[in-house]
Amino acid sequence: MTWKHGILSAFVLVAAWQLLVIITGVPSFILPPPMKVAKAMWFYHALIAENAWVTTQEVLLGMIIGSVLGILTALHLATSRTARAILRPILVFSQAVPVFALAPILVLWFGYGIWSKIVMAVLIIYFPVTSAFFDGLMKTPAGYLDLAKTMGASRARTLWHIRFKSALPSLGSGLRLAAVYAPIGAVIGEWVGASKGLGYLMLLANGRVKIDLMFATLIVLAVLTVCLHLAVDILARKLAKDH
């Protein structure tokens, strides 16, 4: 998807939004028109920017920590039968517990600051990154492995030079999912308990019946997620091209 396609899609969505408001006559406190939301975004731009920066920090730190942990776990699983026997069932079982239900516990453990939201983002992206990269490591073409064995390559060199590089496209897929899920984790954490962030601002605006501000904040969050996904997509394409 190019930036031109993105602009066209945004234009179509805004036009459909305005048309829906005109046809249904829905009150602005339920669905404000795009122009009213744009005015709120401009009027509260400093407030939105301040809270967007907090959420951005949470998302980026969560992405980095969760991705590193996921990569290390996948490497450990791929190189150890014992780890696969013990850790894989635990990882699968952990997905049976709704991550969102852990948000109040994380706030209790880590407080109302930034770390409870970072941990929430880490938890929500850890499994997709681990699972995608592990699958890629285990699906290395047999011909590559046979050639490495014939040439007497050590397990470490085979892992790094063949299996790791062969699995980079799969890692890219996992990172793309993480880019979409990480903001969700951060915002859920802010909804449960926070004093700053886009999720907090949305709740504050909703409580004060400033629906235009709430929609403006939601749009900023969506733009943040799209930008993060585009950046990760560029990185993933580069990984796939270089592997």
Domain interval for residue 61: 32-242
Q: What is the pLDDT of residue 153?
A: 67
Q: Are residues 26 and 100 in the same domain?
A: no
What whole-number distance in Å separates Cα of residue 46 and Cα of residue 59? 20
What is the structure's pLDDT at 109? Answer: 86
Confidence of residue 5 (pLDDT cuts 50, 70, 90): low
Residue 130 and residue 111 in one domain: yes
Examine the domain organization and report whether 199 and 155 are in the same domain. yes
Question: Residue 63's pLDDT is what?
Answer: 92
Q: What is the pTM for the complete model shown?
A: 0.85
Query: What rounded mean pLDDT belongs to the chain?
Result: 84
Co-location of 76 and 137 in the same domain: yes
Is 88 found in the same domain as 26? Answer: no
Q: Do 109 and 10 reside in the same domain of the chain?
A: no
pLDDT at site 220: 93
pLDDT at position 154 over 80: no
Confidence band, pLDDT 50/70/90 cuts, at residue 242:
low
DSSP state of 159: I
CB neighbour list of residue 52: distance below 8 Å, 6 or more residues apart: 198, 220, 221, 224
Per-residue pLDDT averaged across 219-226, rounded? 91
Rounded to whole angstroms, the Cα distance separating 142 from 97 reads 36
At residue 1, does pLDDT exceed 80?
no
167: pLDDT strictly greater than 70:
yes
Task: Average the pLDDT over each of 16-30, 93-107, 137-151 and give the range with the smallest value.
Answer: 137-151
Q: Is the predicted pLDDT of residue 2 greater than 60, yes or no?
A: no
Q: Are residues 124 and 190 in the same domain?
A: yes
In this structure, the answer to whether residues 22 and 117 fall within a common structural domain is no
Give 114's pLDDT tier (boundaries 50, 70, 90).
confident
More confident residue, 49 or 106: 49
* CATH number of the domain residue 152 falls in: 1.10.3720.10
Do residues 119 and 209 share a domain? Answer: yes
Total domain count, the chain: 2
Tell me what pLDDT residue 39 has: 92
Instruction: Identify whether the C-beta of residue 186 lies closer than 8 Å to the C-beta of residue 58.
Output: yes
The separation between CA 170 and the C-alpha centre of its own chain, rounded to angstroms, equals 16
- Extract the tokens encoding 47: 């407030």
Confidence of residue 61 (pLDDT cuts 50, 70, 90): very high
